[in-house]
Structures are given as C-alpha cells and as structure tokens.
Amino acid sequence: MSFIIRAAHIDDVQHLYEMAKRTGGGFTNLPPDRKALTAKLERAAAAFARTEEEIADDLFVFVLENTATGEVRGTCQIFSRVGQKWPFYSYRLGTLTQHSVELDKTFRAEMLSLTTDLEGCTEVGGLFLHPGERSGGLGMLIARSRYLFIRNHRARFGDKTLAELRGVIDEAGGSPFWDGVAGRFFGMNFQQADEFNAVHGNQFIADLMPKHPVYTAMLPESARAVIGMPHPSGRAAMRMLENEGFHWENYVDIFDGGPTMTARTDQIRSVREARDTQIVAIDAGLGDHKKGEKDLIAHGKLDDFRAAYGWLELRDGGIAIDPDGARLLGVVEGDVITHVARW
C-alpha cells in the first residue's frame, strides 16, 4: 500500500476544493470555497509551525496521499479547542417532567436547548475520502491517524474530544431539521445557511436564534424523526467513533440535527492503546502472506508527522518494520515509531 497521511500544505488547496465539491452539502468543515479553504490551510500552516507545547486556537489539516501517483485522495482536520473565535453552539436534547395533582398525571416533554457546553473541547472533523478509495481500510487510516497525532502532541489538545456527524440531508440537499427549527427564524434555506456558516462562522446564530428551549412536540414529524440521526453515509463513521469509545450524550448539530459524539481524550482507544517502540531492524521478511502484524504506524512531529499502515514484529529490544512501511514513513533503524493494532 502506497498511501500516507501527511500535513496539508497551501499547494493542496486545489485538491481540497475538488474533494469539497463531492461532499453533497452539510459538510461545514470542507466548504467548496477556495478562499475559505486557503484560509484553513494558512491557519494550519501557522499551527504546524508553532513551537509552544500548549493548547491554543489551532487547526491542523491533513491529507491522504497516494505516494505512487502523487494524488491526494482524502483529508481530515483537528481543531485543538473549539469556541474560541466564535461560540460553539449545540442543541442538547433534554426532558422536562411535570406532574398535575388534579389530573393525577405525569407529563414528560422533550426539548432542545441551545447551549455552549462543549466549548473548549478538541474537535476531530472534516474527514472525507474519495469514493474511489473507500476500501482497504483507508477510512480507518485517516480517522485513527488523528488520534495518534493528538497523543504525540497531547499538551496541545483538550481533555475532551468531540466529533460532529452530518445529519440527514434529503435528495434536494435540504435538511428536515433546519426547515423545522432554525429555518423559521433566518429567512434562508439550509444550503444558504450551511455555506454562510462554513465561510463566515456561526455568529449569526447568536444574533438570530431564539434562546428559549424548543419543545420537540411542536416540530413537524419530519424534523423530529431526524434528531440525533446521522446521514446514511455517516453510519460507518459513527461505528468507528463508538469503537474508539465515543458516546452520544444528547448533543446535536444546530443546522442539521446530526449527533455530536464525545469522549475523554485520554480514553480514546487509539490514544490509550498506542505504544512507542524503537526500530531495531528493517526486515523484508515481513509483509502480506509472510510474517508480522499489519499496524497503524506514525512518526514525526507537527509538519513532519506521517502515518501509514506497515508490517511490524516485536523483537528483543524493539521492533522490526517492513521496507515499504519504513520507506513511506521515512524511518531507519534507531528511530522511534508510534504504533497501534489495526482493528
């Protein structure tokens, strides 16, 4: 396999733009707007260049590159701490219980409350894999490489990590949730609001969104049915998050009602199970139909970070790696790699 995860650079903007056009809407972190994407890459360059090992308002952007062809076939992002420039809004689905003595009945009403509870969390997002590459574990490679980066730069990230999953979008590109809730107050359809948010941020939500809770019983059935539901294309991503230890704690996206998953950063499975080991041999006897285990491997700091699949075998005093894996990661005997089992 010739694919690696690496830091994105400013000359990747066209690659990101071409992928953004394929997302089909509702993908706030990857807008089909060259100016916005360029701004993201410039912000990421500053984050990769920052030497202070402390948390800040950073954005890290990565790409999946096929080293055999030079093509960029996927991307992902990490926001070190959300809610710094603009408030980070979510809806929280809660229950209000009331009892009538006269009627001798108890009523429970679900409601959506606008909240900024998740401010200060790290966010993993912006994951997109080209449709032609959705096999061979590449989606897992992109997703899990972020956790190894977080682990190896732990002081730069929060104690809690979130992931927003895209909600249900209809065939016309609209959102039943937006139409039933926020769209009533903004005078714009879902696509217009989503594009505006991706480019300008969501301060307009603070300016125009009603601050009072919304009783779900007052929403149309089409909106109620999609609260906390991922887009069909996001169900596999939700399963991956659950395997990493993320949970849904009743937070939903304010635009499309998709679920926001959360986990304690140090309890994310890939963070918790990863190990650092020194390379003691580069062994051509490792590989498919040979010996060794195929693991997710990372090496390098900040802009030099690389992640790829490779074949490993524990040896006395360290670990052996196959030649292709060593070449992809640019490692030699004596280097220390971070590795975690593939599952």
Euclidean distance between CA atoms 326 and 202, whole angstroms = 43
Distance CA(247)–CA(267), nearest Å, equals 12
- Enclosing H/E stretch for 98: strand 90-100
User: Residue 282 corresponds to which tokens in the numbers above?
Assistant: 């580069």
Residue 72 Cα distances to 3, 8, 330, angstroms: 9, 10, 19
231: annotated active-site residue: yes
Q: Distance from first CA to last CA of the chain, Å, rounded?
A: 17
Please report, as a single letter, which amino acid is at residue 78: I
Which residues make Cβ contacts (< 8 Å) with residue 133, sequence separation at least 6? 64, 73, 74
Catalytic residue among 231, 289, 299, 339, which? 231
CA 287 to chain centre: 30
Token pair of 97, please? Answer: 């219980």
* Strand intervals (E) in 150-305: 160-164, 214-215, 247-252, 259-264, 275-282, 293-299
**Which of 80, 40, 77, 78 is closest to 56 using CA atoms?**
80
Which active-site residues does the annotation give?
Answer: 231
